[in-house]
Structure 1
């Protein structure tokens, strides 16, 4: 009888452990791909130089535990300026910065390619949409007391 009780207890513990392990991947996969930060007022005078344009940017963060393809995803402002990702994968736990100006795209930095500023210095809204056009999120600011907004 003692071994039957021991076996039942071991099976109960193993069953509970198996259920916990089965639930772990779903919990680990939680998180999101979302707008993280907008730096809307680049430092200094607005000269439209490459360094000034590229000091204005929006960041997208992947807080999931998996890589996410952003191909076809887009970021727009309230005036309908639009950046669309070409083939691009955002790594698990990574952030990508989309600079307003021109530059060489990397895994961490992308370039809108604009010769004009995108983000208004006082108020604007960034909207992130996935490849089918579903709104993933938006981030608005209405302030001249700061140069950036954490979304």
Structure 2
């Protein structure tokens, strides 16, 4: 996933570094501080990023092409 990004509706962005995952595998992206592993990565932020009521997560590849999006709730 080197160079891939995950962005929310407010423009907060996490850039994946040298991470490999198998097909159909999952990886959890945490807002806070922690040690990256094969199943969990950490953004190192002190404030909560993802909106509980509404937000959109957009995954883009290393060329900036949208791979997937997920939207929940309704923005006011």
Asked if these proteins are the same fold (TM beyond 0.5), I'd say yes
Match of 1:142 in 2: 73
* Superposition deviation, residue 91 in structure 1: 1.5
TM-score, normalised via structure 1 length: 0.47
CA distance in 1, matches of 2:32, 2:17: 17
2:29 to 98, 101, 114: 98
Task: Flag structure 2 segments of 5+ consecutive residues without an equivalent.
Answer: none
TM-score, normalised via structure 2 length: 0.92
* Superposition deviation, residue 134 in structure 1: 0.3
Q: Matched residue pairs, number?
A: 74
> Comparing both structures, which one devotes a greater share of its residues to helix?
1
Superposed CA RMSD in Å reads: 1.0
The structure with higher relative contact order (CA 8 Å, sep 6+) is 2
2:13 to 82, 85, 90: 82
CA distance in 2, matches of 1:103, 1:72: 20
* Superposition deviation, residue 93 in structure 1: 2.7
Moved over 6 A (4+): none
Residue deviations 1:11-30, cap 9 Å, x none? xxxxxxxxxxxxxxxxxxxx
Q: Give the structure with higher Rg (CA).
A: 1
Match of 1:128 in 2: 59
Structure 2 SS opposite 1:83: strand
